Structure 1
Amino acid sequence: MLMSGVYVVSTEPPVFCVANNYLEVAAANASEAGMKAHFLVFPMWYAGDARGAISAFKATWKSRPHKVYWLCNAPAEERALRLLGLNASFCHHNLFCDETLFRPRAEKQVYDALYTAGLHNYKRVWLASKVPRLRIITASVQALDRLDDWGCSHAEANPEYLSKDDVAREICRSACCLALSKKEGGMFATTEYLLCGKPIVSTKSTGGRDFWFDPDNHVIAEADSSSVLNAVSSISKRTWQAEKIREHTLTKLRQQREILQDKISQISRRSLLSDATGNELSKRFVFGPHLPNLFSFLVGKTSPCAEVKAAIGAL
């Protein structure tokens, strides 16, 4: 899911998908244009505890007079937000993952495990410190020295930002992939791994990534480096079916898009998401700098810029 902007999913009435950390910016821009909008909001961090739920309540209050609907990555999130009187339902934000890009590829396996992760403490990269052939894919290229602090100096890490296509290729070069945080959001990388047909070694977690798991696509490890190593080593002792892993994930992906479509249909008469891929959904995204133009155009005050015209055309 792209975060610094909105996905345009309807214009009559205006309905937008947005990450929670951009809701207030988008709502303010809409208000300045004189528009009353509907925002379908996806939490980027677990909102099922008191802190997360209160934050969602405050964001909803600050976004008045716009209509705000919370789409949650975990049932506990939905329950917590509903207890505060918010409009909340389950719909996993990983539905925006691009299945046309993340797919099994005929690559030579050169890594024991790969972890796509920001180099932040909550990702617990150090739990992979005993994995011999470790690959780290990160957007935190300015913080690679943290790998030394975490006992992962042997890991192969990207010194520069990688394209999604390059990330997908690297995933396919690994025997398995890692998900080691204790708490976060829905973890997009989980679905990207599975779309590539790769089994996952995961710790127990809160946030929603476990929605994508079944007995044939993952192994649970305890939160210590020896357990993670043992789980990674066990991957080679079992037969994993890449296409089965992918098809199971695609089924869930389509189900989540149907849920989103149903939510949109309750607001708008237009059917916008039937059979849309993650790539097609990304074409409906308008980045933050273009939001004033988007909202002004939708209320008839200005002509659309090229970026807005492309997003509207993708409907």
Structure 2
Amino acid sequence: MIYTAHAPYAPLGAAHHFGRRLADRPVLFLVWFSWTMREPRTVRMLATAVAVYRRRRPNHRIILMCNEEEERAAFAAEGVDAVLCSSNLFVDEETFRPLPGSVTSYDAVYNGAMVPWKRHRLSALIASCAHIFYRKAEYDKAMAYLAELRASLPHHTFINEVVDGNIQMIPAARVNSVLSQSRVGLCLSAEEGGMYASVEYLLAGLPVVSTPNRGGRDVFSDPDYWITAEESPEAIRDAVGEMMRRKVAPDDIRSRTLERIHQHRANLRSAVAAGTDGKVMLPGDLSAPFYRQMPVWETRTDLAARIGLTSERGDLAQV
């Protein structure tokens, strides 16, 4: 069983890298998405890739792990094995949790890459907001965007340090500490994938204000502690104010989120059992450490070594 990411240059992830060399073995590839995949053209292209691959290697099974029901239904209609199984099921609930006794310093917090499509400026009218960020775009573009935001949002706090011109990542425990000092989590992009930060907020006991979006982050939402607001600074400000007035108990947000996460983990367990004819069974304890491992980037060489192959190239693959 290989858990692997879709990528534009390798739509079936590790299956494209190693499928030929594993052709004589039964393999289950679980392909997950880091971006929304429900556009009809995208669905047709990936469904075709799956069909062509399986004709060549019938010994292999491929299951697409979809972040939202619209994706699952679209791929199922094309005859592809697909399951509603958000990649956010791997967020570690032991790291992200309410911290009793924390002093609240920020009305809102936004954890997002330093790229314009995260739409940080929609938070402009929030009186106090913490920004946790990292570089995802080219260096010059990320730093220019950061400088623009600092100038346009002088009343906000930018958490990460910049050392020698590089944005310093902060560890997950530090992220959780900042969340514990905040009242509301923000999700402001129009589309992406499941957005790990959205579930980190919820597990830390924060209600969420989101914009309408595609990608699946709202599969863990609940009307009691999740508001989808219009795409304007005024609407975001008002929704944050409404969430602060509701005063939903952090432990209630967390416990109800865990119920949804455990359902997605159960979906994963069922999919693996079905995809391997019962030969592989993931842990029945849906809180087991197995389910709390975030995807990591590995070179093709390292991944090959992990599954007992040698590789002549060192391209990156996410698994």
TM range (shorter): 0.7 to 0.9
User: For 1:229, what is the secondary structure of its paired residue?
Assistant: helix
Q: Is 1:128 matched up with 2:136?
A: no
Q: Using a 3 Å threshold, how does the CA distance of structure 1 residues 198 and 49 change in structure 2: closer, same or farther?
A: same
Counterpart in 1 of 2:4?
A: 18
Q: Is 1:39 matched up with 2:40?
A: no
Deviations 1:41-86 (A, max 9, x none): 1111111112431342355357552421112111111122223332
Offset of residue 276 of structure 1: 4.4
More deviation, 168-177/57-66? 57-66
Question: Within 1, Cα distance between the matches of 2:48 and 2:130?
Answer: 39
Q: Which of 168, 182, 192 is the matching residue for 2:190? A: 182
Question: Within 2, Cα distance between the matches of 1:125 and 1:253?
Answer: 27
Written as runs of structure 1 = structure 2, the 5 A alignment for 1:1-315 is: 15-21=1-7, 24-31=12-19, 33-35=21-23, 36=25, 37-57=27-47, 59-60=49-50, 63-64=53-54, 65=57, 66-106=60-100, 107-140=102-135, 142=139, 143-150=142-149, 151-157=152-158, 158-159=160-161, 160-266=168-274, 267=276, 268-277=278-287, 279-282=289-292, 287-289=297-299, 290-296=302-308
Deviations 1:245-270 (A, max 9, x none): 00000101111111110111111423
- Structure 2 portions without partners, runs of 5+: 162-167, 311-318
User: For 1:288, what is the secondary structure of its paired residue?
Assistant: strand
Offset of residue 226 of structure 1: 1.1
Question: Within 1, Cα distance between the matches of 2:294 and 2:145?
Answer: 36
Aligned residue pairs: how many?
286
More deviation, 72-81/247-256? 72-81
> Scaled by the length of structure 1, what TM-score is found?
0.82
Q: Using a 3 Å threshold, how does the CA distance of structure 1 residues 286 and 109 change in structure 2: closer, same or farther?
A: closer
The one-letter code of the counterpart of 1:45 is: W
1:100–1:279 Cα contact (<8 Å) kept: no
Question: Within 2, Cα distance between the matches of 1:284 and 1:124?
Answer: 25
Offset of residue 148 of structure 1: 4.4
> Scaled by the length of structure 2, what TM-score is found?
0.81
Question: Within 2, Cα distance between the matches of 1:283 and 1:241?
Answer: 27
The one-letter code of the counterpart of 1:50 is: P
- Structure 1 portions without partners, runs of 5+: 1-14, 302-310
User: For 2:43, what is the secondary structure of its paired residue?
Assistant: helix
The one-letter code of the counterpart of 1:87 is: D
Question: Within 2, Cα distance between the matches of 1:155 and 1:19?
Answer: 35
Counterpart in 2 of 1:9?
A: none
User: For 1:186, what is the secondary structure of its paired residue?
Assistant: coil
Q: Using a 3 Å threshold, how does the CA distance of structure 1 residues 248 and 154 change in structure 2: closer, same or farther?
A: same
User: For 1:243, what is the secondary structure of its paired residue?
Assistant: helix
User: For 1:175, what is the secondary structure of its paired residue?
Assistant: strand
The one-letter code of the counterpart of 2:43 is: A
2:35–2:215 Cα contact (<8 Å) kept: yes
1:33–1:295 Cα contact (<8 Å) kept: no
More deviation, 232-241/273-282? 273-282
Question: Within 1, Cα distance between the matches of 2:182 and 2:114?
Answer: 20
2:207–2:225 Cα contact (<8 Å) kept: yes
Q: Using a 3 Å threshold, how does the CA distance of structure 1 residues 292 and 282 change in structure 2: closer, same or farther?
A: farther
Counterpart in 2 of 1:6?
A: none
Please report the RMSD computed on the Cα atoms of aligned residues, expressed in angstroms. 2.6
